[in-house]
């Protein structure tokens, strides 16, 4: 019997909630085998760090997370772009817009077979991906 690992893509909002002690996200991340971020998520995080007042501390925390053997960065490529286009066209036809960066995040999840861990409910509008929607108050 083949055992599939539990793999998730930790969205920017999920990362922030994890750092703020969101119990559901903390529990979920303790149970999974692999945690991914992508270059879009890293860019959003770094932009927030640069604009904030604790840049060095936040970069150090992120660096520590990325050094874990369970954490990887999923890179975007032509296949990601194809999946982005499919998701974009589907949502446009449905009349349900989603922020552009989140379309890239969804395309990455679709490409790599990852469940998105997020506090952003608009990911639930994208049937092409699995989403673990968590509330900020958990």
CATH code linked to domain 7-133: 3.40.50.1010
- 79's CB contacts (< 8 A; 6+ apart) are 111
Q: Are strands 71-74 and 7-10 parallel, antiparallel or unpaired?
A: unpaired
For helices 39-51 and 100-112, the axis angle rounded to 10 degrees is: 140
H or E element at residue 76: none
Give me the torsion for CA of 123, 126, 129, 134, rounded to 10°: 20
pLDDT, residue 3, reads 34
- 69's CB contacts (< 8 A; 6+ apart) are none
* Cβ–Cβ < 8 Å for 132, 18: no
Map out the domains of the chain as residue ranges.
Answer: 7-133
**pLDDT one-digit tens code per residue, 31-57:** 999 999 999 999 999 999 999 999 999
- CA angle, corner 129, sides to 124 and 135, nearest 5? 40
138: tokens are 């958990």
Q: What is the CA radius of gyration of the chain?
A: 15
**pLDDT one-digit tens code per residue, 60-114:** 999 999 999 999 999 999 999 999 999 999 999 999 999 999 999 999 999 999 9
């Amino acid at each position: 019997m083949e055992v599939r690992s539990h793999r998730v893509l930790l969205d920017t909002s999920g990362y922030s909630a994890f750092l703020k002690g969101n119990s559901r996200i903390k529990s979920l991340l303790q149970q999974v085998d692999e945690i991914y971020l992508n270059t879009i998520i890293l860019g959003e995080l770094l932009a927030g760090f640069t604009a904030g007042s604790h840049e060095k501390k936040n970069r150090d925390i992120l660096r520590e997370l990325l050094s874990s053997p369970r954490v990887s960065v999923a890179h975007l490529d032509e296949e990601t772009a194809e999946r982005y286009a499919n998701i974009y066209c589907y949502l446009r036809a449905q009349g349900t817009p989603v922020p552009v960066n989140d379309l890239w995040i969804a395309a990455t999840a679709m490409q790599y077979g990852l469940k998105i861990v997020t506090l952003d409910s608009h990911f639930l509008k994208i049937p092409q991906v699995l989403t673990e929607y968590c509330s900020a108050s958990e």
